[in-house]
Chain A
Amino acid sequence: MQILSKYRLGKFSLFIAILLFVGSGIASDKANSIEIRAALVVGASKEKKGAKKLSESIRKRLAKVFKWRNYYRLSDKQLSIPVDKTKTAKLSKKASIKVSNRKNGRVSVSLFSGGKELIQKSQTLRIGSYMVLAGESTGDSAWFIVISKSN
């Protein structure tokens, strides 16, 4: 308090300074965080009425590469991951992913099935680009986990 009085700083000024310091830290953390969207998608040859359809842009991209024409969204998760942190998302009863925010926009995704880790894919994920993990499912269908970055 003697120091405060010496430099003519009031309690209010000190409060503002602390607030700015904490605020800047939060803002910095927010700036380094990435927003990841992970969707579990099923690709099927037959059309299912009433099912949640996938966005047209992703559907078109998948249909260009794969034989299935119909894509339906089973689940959708949004993750905000600070830098050097990892978050987990359960996409179905068996499938879950672990997403890590590496530095310089690099994202690392681990795929788990029934608690067993199958693969880990790391890459720089740009806005508008997608990381797709896929495989066959029962019948004439396939599963897709579509990961994208929104900020």
Chain B
Amino acid sequence: MKENEIELKIQALVDGELTESEAEQMRECMDNDVRLQILYAQLIQTKDLISKYEMPRVLPESGDFYWAKIAQEIRTGEPTNQGSNNSLVIKWLFHRLAPLLGIATIVLLITLQQPSVPDLAIELESDHELELLSDEIDVMTFNSVDDSMSIVWLEYSMDIQRDYMELWLD
């Protein structure tokens, strides 16, 4: 056994960390070696000194309180994880929706910039009312340029040949 290992074994013996057989073996070694006996005595003495004169460290809070704090930290950590999950969802949505939002904004801007009613300098009289009583007839309404004549053109052929005949015979 190397000298360093022997010293470590003696240290372990002082700390009570060796098995009974190992402790017996180490005691036999020390009986034959004065240097080891001195080392053992020094270590025992140091241990006594430390145990007697070590400044006691008193915790400001009890152990239970520490555990309670740790448990609280764990609990508060959980919502943080949920929050991070939410932020991930928001990021994902942002990545997906950002192009769509951009297109929608552009379309909205174009729509807003266009005049709602094209200005063709046509003034329509608002009091005109037309009621079509037959679905088979197509109707077109318009006013003359000077607005003195309002015209309703019906896709309806009226036979006035007989009236013609009377007209020509008059």
Q: How large is the interface on B (under 10, 10 to 19, 20 to 34, 35 or more residues)?
A: 20 to 34
Looking at B6-14, B74-82, B121-129, the stretch in contact with chain A turns out to be B121-129
B93 close to A (CB within 8 Å)? no
Interface size on A (CB < 8 Å)? Answer: 41
Contact of A119 among B132, B144, B159 (CB under 8 A): B132
Q: How far is the CB of B11 from chain A (nearest CB, A)?
A: 118
Does the CB pair B159–A134 fall under 8 Å?
A: no
Task: Give the contacts of A67-124 with B (CB-CB under 8 A).
Answer: 72, 74-75, 92-95, 106, 111, 113, 116-124
Check B154–A74 contact: CB distance below 8 A: no
Is residue B162 contacting chain A, with contact meaning CB distance below 8 A?
Answer: yes
Judge if B104 is at the interface, Cβ distance under 8 Å: no
Compute how far the CA of A75 lies from the CA of B161 in the bound complex, rounded to whole angstroms. Answer: 14
- Contact present for B144 and A61 (CB under 8 Å): yes
Let me know if B152 and A134 touch, CB within 8 A: yes
Q: Which residues on the A side are within 8 Å of B156 (C-beta)?
A: 113, 118, 135-136
Across the interface, name the chain A residue whose C-beta is closest to B139.
A119
**5 tightest CB-CB pairs across the interface, nearest first?**
A135-B154, A122-B129, A120-B131, A132-B151, A135-B156
Could you say which residues of chain A place their CB within 8 Å of the CB of B164? Answer: 42, 74
Chain B residue contacts of A74, Cβ below 8 A: 160, 163-164, 167
CB atoms of B127 and A119 under 8 A apart: no
Beyond A65-B151, A136-B156, A137-B160, 5 additional pairs, beta carbon < 8 A? A52-B170, A74-B164, A119-B130, A132-B150, A135-B158
A136 touches B150 (CB 8 A): no
A124 touches B127 (CB 8 A): yes
